[in-house]
Amino acid sequence: MKSDISFYNEMMKTICTHKDSGKRNPVDIGVECGYSEEEVMKLLQSFSQNDFVAENKNVLTNNESAPIVGNRKSIKSTVFMQFAGRECNVDHIMDQVESDWCKKGNSRTDINTIELYLKPEESAAYCIINEIDAGKIII
């Protein structure tokens, strides 16, 4: 299986710009575009784990600019979503999710997991907190 960053960036671009993106399963789209199911699954899993970045020895080196956690380097990242001429910072969406959670009488310390599903074609993000549907955020 290929493991370089440019390969996965190109795969992501291909899947996201496909005419059925947002309407069909991204794995099906990736396979239709010529990628293996294993490659597409690795790409999708990387969003929660960042494994393919950490495993790429050509990109990461052990230097003092970032701490090493186990044998992996901790990387500060910022994720932006761009769609139809608009851009939003995913960190801001997460802040809004947490804020809405607290407005419902919950505490930030009660949050164990957040799953965020971005739907740019709907200008929305759907979230699940602690395996409970927490609603929709307009982005």
pLDDT at residue 34, as a whole number = 92
Instruction: Give yes or no: residues 24 and 42 share one domain.
Output: yes
Q: Tell me the percentage of the chain whose pLDDT exceeds 90.
A: 9
**pLDDT one-digit tens code per residue, 15-29:** 888 888 878 888 888
Q: Which of 20, 40, 73 is the last residue of a domain?
A: 73
Q: What mean pLDDT is predicted for residues 43-66?
A: 51
What is the pLDDT confidence band of residue 126, given thresholds at 50, 70 and 90? very high
Instruction: Give yes or no: residues 89 and 49 share one domain.
Output: no
Higher local confidence (pLDDT), 95 or 1: 95
Instruction: Give yes or no: residues 43 and 16 share one domain.
Output: yes
Higher local confidence (pLDDT), 1 or 36: 36
When divided into structural domains, the chain yields a total of 2
**pLDDT one-digit tens code per residue, 57-107:** 444 344 444 444 445 566 788 888 888 888 888 889 998 988 888 898 888
Instruction: Give yes or no: residues 85 and 131 share one domain.
Output: yes
Instruction: Give yes or no: residues 67 and 94 share one domain.
Output: no
Q: For residue 90, what are the domain limits?
A: 80-138
Q: What mean pLDDT is predicted for residues 101-119?
A: 89
Average pLDDT of the chain?
78
Q: What does the chain look like in DSSP terms, one character per residue?
A: ----HHHHHHHHHHHHTSTTBTTB-HHHHHHHTT--HHHHHHHHHHHHH-HHHHH-TTT----TTS-EETTEE------EEEETTEEEEHHHHHHHHHHHHHHTT--GGG---EEEEEEGGGTEEEEEETTEEEEEEE-
